[in-house]
Amino acid sequence: MNDAAFFTIAPSPVGPLTLLGAGDDLIGLYFDDDPNGAAARRGAVRDDRRLRAAVAQLDEYFAGRRTRFDLSLAPRGTAFRQEVWRALRRIPYGQTSSYGEIARAIGKPAASRAVGGANHHNPIAIVIPCHRVVGADGSMTGYGGGLDRKELLLALEARTAKRAA
């Protein structure tokens, strides 16, 4: 992977999104009020053209026309976090899972808190769907983008899934 980072800023129904790429990979997707997005842009070059496919897929997602992303992803994190992020990508569109269910899915049933930490450090919001993780009782739990965004994303997916059924 080429480490020269580039970024673009895309409008969305949940506010401006900063997309960060390196080589052919998407390595970050941050909400406008996430300080990690500002940090990621430092030293990166703005290049709207190279992230055009990712922006187009996000547009389709928000329009209810895309339920799976087809992007090359390279989130940076520990082996454990990578494992959790892979598990998050297996949560079906329009459905939710709990921290405990994710921990069991990765073969670490006692690691619910660690799964929560990995979820919190997900660098590619929306595409790696950490918004689909809820409390064991189905309650809305913390979300780095704010509970209002989490609820909006889940409602969008529920409406789209219902129309497709």
| pLDDT(2) > 50 | no
91-to-38, 52, 86, 103, 112 alpha-carbon distances in Å: 29, 26, 9, 13, 16
Task: Note whether 56 and 129 are same-domain residues.
Answer: no
**pLDDT higher for 143 or 119?**
119
Task: Note whether 120 and 88 are same-domain residues.
Answer: yes
- Domain assignment present for residue 72? The answer is no
Burial letters 87-119, b for 16+ CB under 10 A, else e: bbeebebbebbbbbbbbbbbeeeebbebbbebb
Which CATH number belongs to the domain containing residue 22 in this structure?
3.30.160.70
Task: Note whether 56 and 102 are same-domain residues.
Answer: no
DSSP, res 132: G
- Domain assignment present for residue 70? The answer is no
* Residues whose CB is less than 8 angstroms from the CB of residue 37 and which lie 6 or more positions away in sequence, other chains included: 18, 20, 28, 30, 31
Task: Note whether 42 and 96 are same-domain residues.
Answer: no
Q: Catalytic site residues?
A: 130
Task: Note whether 91 and 150 are same-domain residues.
Answer: yes
The whole domain housing 20 covers 5-62
Amino acid identity for residue 79 in this structure: A
pLDDT tens per residue, range 127-159: 999 999 998 888 888 777 888 999 999 999 999
- Which 3 state secondary structure label does DSSP give 103? helix
User: Is 5:44 a contact under the CB 8 Å cutoff?
Assistant: yes
| pLDDT(24) > 80 | yes
Task: Note whether 32 and 105 are same-domain residues.
Answer: no
pTM value > 0.85: yes
pLDDT tens per residue, range 32-83: 988 888 888 898 999 999 999 999 999 999 999 999 999 999 999 999 999 9
pLDDT confidence of residue 94: 94
Task: Note whether 102 and 141 are same-domain residues.
Answer: yes
Q: How many domains does the chain have?
A: 2
- Counting every residue, how long is the chain? 165
Which CATH number belongs to the domain containing residue 133 in this structure?
1.10.10.10
